[in-house]
A and B are shown apart, each in its own frame.
Chain A
Amino acid sequence: MADIEAPVLGEYQIIPKIKLGTMAGSMPYIAKPDIQAGVGFPKELVPDWENVAVKKLGEMVSESRALQVFLDSCVKCGACTDKCHYYLGTSDPKNMPVARQDLLRSVYRRYYTFAGKHFPKLVGARDMTKDVLDEWYNYFHQCSQCRRCSVFCPYGIDTAEISMAAREIMDTVGQGQKYCNEVLIKLHSIGNNLGLPGPALANTLEGLEEDVKDDTGVDVKYPVDVKGAEVLLVTPSADFFAEPHVDGLIGYGKVFHAAGTSWTLSSHASEAGNFGMFIGSNKDLHKVARRIREAALELGVKRIIVGECGHAWRVAYSFWNSIIGPFDFLDQRYPIPQHICEFTYDLIQRKALKFDKSANDDKVVTFHDSCNVARASRMGNMPGGQFIIPRAVVRASVNKFFDMAPETIYESTYCCGGGGGLLTDELLDLRIKGTAPRMQAFKEVVEEHGVTHIAAICAICKAQFTKVLPYYKFPMDTIQSVHGLVSKAIRLGAVNE
Chain B
Amino acid sequence: MSAVTVIYALLFYVATAILVIGVARKIYIYARAPQPLKIPTTPAPTTRLGVAARMVREVTVFESLFKANKWTWLFGWIFHFCLFVELIWHLRYFTEPVLAFLPWMQWFINFTGYGMVLGLLGLWGRRFLVDRVRYISGPSDHLMLALLVAIGASGLAMKFLVHTDIVALKAFFIGLMTLNWQRMPADPLLLIHLTLVALLMIIFPVSKLLHAPGVFFSPTRNQVDNPREQRWVAGWTAKLDNTKAAGN
Contacts and interface: CB of A to CB of B under 8 A. Distances in A.
Interface in A180-194: none
Contacts of B123: 77
A79 B65 contact: yes
Interface in B20-45: 26, 29-30, 33-39, 41-45
Contact of A79 (B36, B43, B69, B231): B69
Contact of A17 (B44, B72, B131, B225): B131
Given A115-B207, A322-B36, A322-B237, A73 B43 contact: no
B68 A69 contact: no
Nearest to B130: A78
B55 to A, nearest CB: 10
A175 interface: no
A377 B33 CA distance: 23
Contacts of A376: 39, 41-42
Interface stretch (A147-155, A251-259, A426-434, A483-491): A147-155
A324 interface: yes
B137 interface: yes
Nearest to B69: A79
A322 B233 contact: yes
A62 B218 contact: no
Given A18-B132, A62-B33, A122-B138, A325 B68 contact: no
Contacts of A152: 64-65, 67-69
B62 interface: yes
B45 A383 contact: yes
Contacts of A411: 41-43
Contacts of A75: 141, 208, 211
Given A64-B33, A322-B36, A77 B76 contact: yes
A122 B143 contact: yes
B206 A115 contact: yes
Contact of A322 (B42, B131, B214, B227): B227
Interface stretch (B87-95, B105-113, B162-170, B240-248): B240-248
Nearest to A293: B242
Interface string A269-297: 00000000000001000100010011001
A156 B42 contact: no
B246 A69 contact: no
Given A115-B140, A115-B207, A69 B218 contact: yes
Contact of B218 (A61, A155, A387): A155
A69 B217 contact: yes
Nearest to A407: B67
Interface string B91-129: 000000000000000000000000000000001001000
Contacts, number: 225
Contacts of B62: 154
A489 B201 CA distance: 66
Contacts of A326: 231, 242
Contact of B39 (A66, A77, A286): A66
A412 B64 CA distance: 12
A157 B133 CA distance: 17
A411 B67 CA distance: 11
Interface string A53-79: 000000001111110111011111111
Which of A124, A156, A297 gathers the greatest number of chain B CB atoms within 10 Å? Answer: A156
B34 A322 contact: no
Interface stretch (A4-12, A92-100, A195-203, A349-357): A92-100
A154 B214 CA distance: 11
B188 interface: no
A99 B136 contact: yes
Contacts of B221: 155-156
A336 interface: yes
Contact of B210 (A72, A123, A318, A325): A72
A168 interface: no
Nearest to B143: A122
Contacts of B68: 79-80, 83, 152-154
Contacts of B44: 378, 383
A38 interface: no
Contact of A323 (B35, B141, B237): B237
Contacts of A79: 64-65, 68-69, 72
Given A69-B218, A73-B211, A78-B126, A319 B43 contact: no
Contacts of A96: 132, 135-136
A73 B140 contact: no
Contacts of B13: none
Nearest to A290: B242
A96 B235 CA distance: 31
A62 B32 CA distance: 9
Contacts of B42: 374-378, 383, 386, 411
B242 to A, nearest CB: 5
A55 to B, nearest CB: 17
A73 B65 contact: no
Contact of A63 (B38, B217, B235): B235
Interface string A88-126: 000001001011001000000000011100010111100
A318 B245 CA distance: 24
B242 A386 contact: no
Interface string A195-216: 0000000000000000000000
Contacts of A119: 140
Which of A320, A322, A386 gathers the greatest number of chain B CB atoms within 10 Å? Answer: A322
Nearest to A282: B236
A362 interface: no
Contacts of A300: none
A124 B135 CA distance: 12
Contacts of B219: 65-66, 69, 156
B128 to A, nearest CB: 12
CB-CB nearest 7 A-B residue pairs: A73-B214, A156-B220, A152-B68, A79-B68, A383-B43, A78-B133, A81-B132
Given A69-B219, A318-B39, 15 more contacts: A63-B36, A69-B217, A73-B208, A78-B126, A78-B136, A83-B68, A124-B139, A152-B68, A153-B64, A158-B39, A323-B242, A374-B42, A376-B39, A383-B43, A383-B44
17 contacts: A17-B131, A65-B217, A68-B30, A68-B217, A75-B141, A93-B132, A150-B220, A152-B64, A155-B218, A156-B220, A319-B38, A322-B232, A324-B242, A375-B41, A377-B42, A378-B43, A383-B42
